[in-house]
């Protein structure tokens, strides 16, 4: 029987394994996941305890049109109620705890801003429409700042958009263009965030754990602590005398075929032979590679000596032949893709009660809260409790992040990246002006995280920098995850990883059916008209116009060329 070797155990690899079984007719025993870390889940991580503090580097948001994700998870039983699928559980949770944000933006004085108005001038609005309508090929190599005037980066729309999706002004215009078109149907509810869906618990507990249980019940093997260092391709090392035509086994001379995997496990090098009918799927690159965690009393410290096996493997493969992407576009400038997050654990309900009073929303229903004038561009969210499946009733967990960790804080006069967990929490509390700040600081465990490549998939790129899911002339190799190219869909989403997995399985196995088309609301006249009406009715800031008075300082959060 044919075997499948999947490099990585993040959501892309787990999804690919499930599609191989569900759609491809593979037996679970013939599927092997090779993971260099000591835990499954990739970037969908979450762990900890009340005593040591919980931690998660990030949290993923969903929306109604994540068709691939919901299709897959309809096949996976929930851990809490096996009669219900993970998709059904997610929809049920949204019904009970839909976001309705009343405090999306907070100003420099700690006051809630009316974010219903997006704050555009006429020029801002026209530039936004132009960016959305520009053919993608014309945006190759451009930054977001190349498409907008400076004032755009001081609008309510930008502050909400960039902190919802984690865009920086210097990120690629191509990705920004895709997001505008992919999520145009969310414009009308963007300030309340009511169109955003969340899982019942963190994504590791709500998605990874049930999916992993289903896979292992099917006999799938996960080998942890196993780093794939190279793939041997057919024809490597052979002389040029064979010429064109057919090689042994009926493969064309220029076919892309993996014949072996080189792995390192427990300090020992091994080789795994790949048969002519076997499949290999590689998660190339990682947005959480090289991450570092700190503590309440110590900052996170990055170690740049090893960017991780997924990046190294991609670099090795890309050097072997053209058409396999350009990893240097994404991993050579971590200063442009790094930001910091933090997870707070407490057994004192004071902060939650104060935030519910401040925001006007019950915890779990309030959505993101962004301090739009903060030097770090801080955003926090109070999750529905419990956020971890094993979290006790007397324990509370919340999360936040800052898009500019290299800047000095407004109150704590040092860069966020150099701050302890306590100092980061102190900065947040000073923005909120809570008198109970000393008590909250003394009763909280704060774990900061720094992630050098977290938004690297947003960096300026061109055609070909991400390899196709199934490269040209590939017979058994596919790329999956955030750094494989899927036309029209948007990276930094679970949906993107699942779509690459489904595309890989359908492509390599030549199946008649594959993933559904990417939702294209911008091509639906009803959706598009509704979005344009929203921009017209709510776009303008009182007194703003294309030739009106200059917007107030501070200068926008932009980075020089």
Residue 460: name the closest of 4, 97, 63, 144 by CA. 144
Domains held by the chain: number: 2
Domain end, chosen from 431, 451, 471, is at 451
State residue 133's pLDDT score.
95
> Is 272 in the same domain as 323?
yes
**What is the Cα–Cα distance from 423 to 428, expressed in whole angstroms?**
9
> Is 367 in the same domain as 442?
yes
- The reply to whether 93 falls in a domain is no
State residue 528's pLDDT score.
83
Given a cut of 80, whether residue 125 has pLDDT beyond it is yes
- The reply to whether 425 falls in a domain is yes
> Is 209 in the same domain as 274?
yes
pLDDT grade for 238, boundaries at 50, 70 and 90: low
> Is 384 in the same domain as 422?
yes
Of 362 and 532, more confident: 362
> Is 119 in the same domain as 205?
no
Query: 444-451 and 339-346 as β-strands: parallel, antiparallel, unpaired?
Result: antiparallel
- The reply to whether 50 falls in a domain is no
**What is the Cα–Cα distance from 376 to 73, expressed in whole angstroms?**
36
Given a cut of 80, whether residue 553 has pLDDT beyond it is no
Domain end, chosen from 411, 432, 451, is at 451
The whole-number average pLDDT for the span 403-416 is 98
- The reply to whether 546 falls in a domain is no
- The reply to whether 296 falls in a domain is no
**What is the Cα–Cα distance from 441 to 437, expressed in whole angstroms?**
6
- Cα dist from 51 to 346, 372, 445, whole Å: 9, 33, 9
Q: 420 and 294 in contact (C-beta within 8 Å)?
A: yes
Given a cut of 80, whether residue 138 has pLDDT beyond it is yes
> Is 399 in the same domain as 370?
yes
**What is the Cα–Cα distance from 312 to 323, expressed in whole angstroms?**
17
> Is 492 in the same domain as 390?
no
Residue 8: name the closest of 478, 510, 552 by CA. 478
Q: Which two tokens stand for residue 114?
A: 């009316």
- The reply to whether 544 falls in a domain is no
State residue 251's pLDDT score.
52
pLDDT grade for 538, boundaries at 50, 70 and 90: confident
- Tell me the β-bridge partners of 282: 7, 479
Radius of gyration of the chain (CA): 24
Query: 279-283 and 4-7 as β-strands: parallel, antiparallel, unpaired?
Result: parallel
- The reply to whether 20 falls in a domain is yes
Q: What is the pLDDT of residues 369-395, one digit of tens each?
A: 999 999 999 999 999 999 999 999 999
| CATH code, 359 | 3.30.9.80
Of 555 and 511, more confident: 511
State residue 252's pLDDT score.
64
Find the angle CA(494)-CA(196)-CA(531) to the nearest 5 degrees: 110
> Is 108 in the same domain as 163?
yes
- The reply to whether 189 falls in a domain is yes
Given a cut of 60, whether residue 521 has pLDDT beyond it is yes
CA atoms within a 13 Å half-sphere pointing along the CA-CB vector of 524: 13
What is the model's pTM?
Answer: 0.94
> Is 204 in the same domain as 73?
yes
Query: 4-7 and 31-34 as β-strands: parallel, antiparallel, unpaired?
Result: parallel
The whole-number average pLDDT for the span 332-342 is 96
> Is 130 in the same domain as 68?
no
Choice among 203-217, 242-256, 285-299 with the minimum mean pLDDT: 242-256
| CATH code, 482 | 3.50.50.60
> Is 188 in the same domain as 143?
yes
> Is 204 in the same domain as 319?
yes
Domain end, chosen from 424, 451, 478, is at 451
Proportion of the chain above pLDDT 70, given as a percent: 93
Q: Which domain holds residue 212?
A: 4-45+61-80+200-289+304-329+461-508
pLDDT grade for 540, boundaries at 50, 70 and 90: low
Q: What is the pLDDT of residues 247-278, one digit of tens each?
A: 444 456 689 999 999 999 999 999 999 999 99
């Amino acid at each position: 029987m044919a075997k499948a070797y999947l490099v990585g155990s993040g959501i892309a690899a787990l999804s690919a394994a499930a599609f191989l079984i569900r759609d491809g007719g593979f037996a679970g025993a013939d599927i092997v996941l090779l993971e260099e870390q000591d835990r499954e889940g990739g970037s969908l991580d979450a762990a900890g305890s009340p005593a040591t503090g919980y931690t998660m580097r990030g949290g993923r948001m969903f929306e109604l049109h994540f068709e691939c994700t919901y299709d897959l998870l309809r096949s996976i039983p929930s851990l809490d109620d096996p009669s219900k699928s993970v998709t059904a559980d997610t929809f049920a949770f949204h019904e009970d705890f839909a976001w309705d944000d009343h405090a999306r933006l907070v100003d420099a004085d700690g006051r809630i801003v009316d974010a219903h108005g997006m704050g555009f001038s006429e020029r801002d609005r026209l530039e936004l429409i132009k960016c959305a309508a520009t053919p993608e090929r014309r945006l190759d190599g451009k930054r977001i700042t190349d498409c907008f005037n400076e004032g755009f980066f001081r609008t309510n729309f930008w502050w909400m958009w960039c902190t919802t999706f984690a865009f920086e002004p210097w990120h690629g215009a191509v990705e920004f263009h895709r997001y505008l078109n992919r999520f145009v149907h969310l414009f009308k509810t963007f300030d309340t965030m009511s169109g955003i869906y969340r899982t019942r618990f963190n994504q590791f507990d709500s998605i990874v754990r049930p999916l992993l249980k289903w896979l292992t019940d099917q006999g799938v093997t996960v080998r942890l602590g196993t780093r794939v260092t190279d793939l041997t391709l057919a024809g490597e090392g052979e002389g040029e005398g064979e010429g064109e035509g057919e090689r042994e086994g009926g493969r064309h001379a220029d076919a892309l075929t993996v014949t072996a995997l080189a792995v390192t496990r427990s300090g020992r090098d091994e080789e795994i032979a790949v048969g002519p009918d076997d499949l290999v799927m590689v998660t190339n690159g990682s947005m959480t590679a090289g991450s570092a965690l700190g503590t309440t009393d110590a900052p996170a410290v990055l170690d740049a000596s090893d960017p991780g096996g997924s990046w190294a493997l991609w670099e090795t493969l890309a050097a072997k032949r053209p058409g396999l992407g350009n990893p240097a576009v994404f991993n050579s400038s971590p200063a442009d893709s790094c930001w910091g997050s933090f997870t707070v654990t407490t057994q004192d309900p004071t902060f939650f009660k104060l935030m519910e009073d401040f925001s006007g929303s019950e915890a779990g229903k309030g959505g993101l809260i962004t301090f739009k004038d903060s030097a770090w561009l801080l955003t926090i969210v109070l999750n529905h409790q419990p956020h971890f499946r094993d979290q006790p009733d007397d324990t509370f967990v919340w999360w936040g992040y800052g898009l500019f960790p290299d800047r000095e804080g407004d109150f704590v006069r040092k860069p966020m990246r150099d701050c302890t967990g306590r100092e980061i929490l102190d900065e947040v509390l000073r923005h909120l002006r809570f008198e109970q700040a000393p008590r909250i600081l003394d009763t909280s465990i704060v774990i900061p995280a720094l992630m050098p490549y977290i938004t690297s998939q947003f960096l300026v790129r061109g055609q070909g920098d991400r390899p196709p899911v199934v490269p040209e002339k590939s017979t058994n190799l596919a790329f999956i995850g955030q750094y494989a190219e899927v036309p029209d869909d948007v990276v930094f989403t679970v949906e993107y990883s699942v779509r690459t997995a489904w595309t890989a399985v359908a492509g390599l196995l030549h199946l008649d059916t594959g993933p559904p088309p990417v939702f294209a609301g911008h091509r639906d006249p009803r959706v598009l008209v509704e979005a344009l009406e929203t921009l017209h009715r709510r776009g303008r800031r009182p007194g703003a116009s294309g030739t009106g008075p200059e917007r107030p300082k501070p200068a926008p959060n932009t980075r020089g060329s």
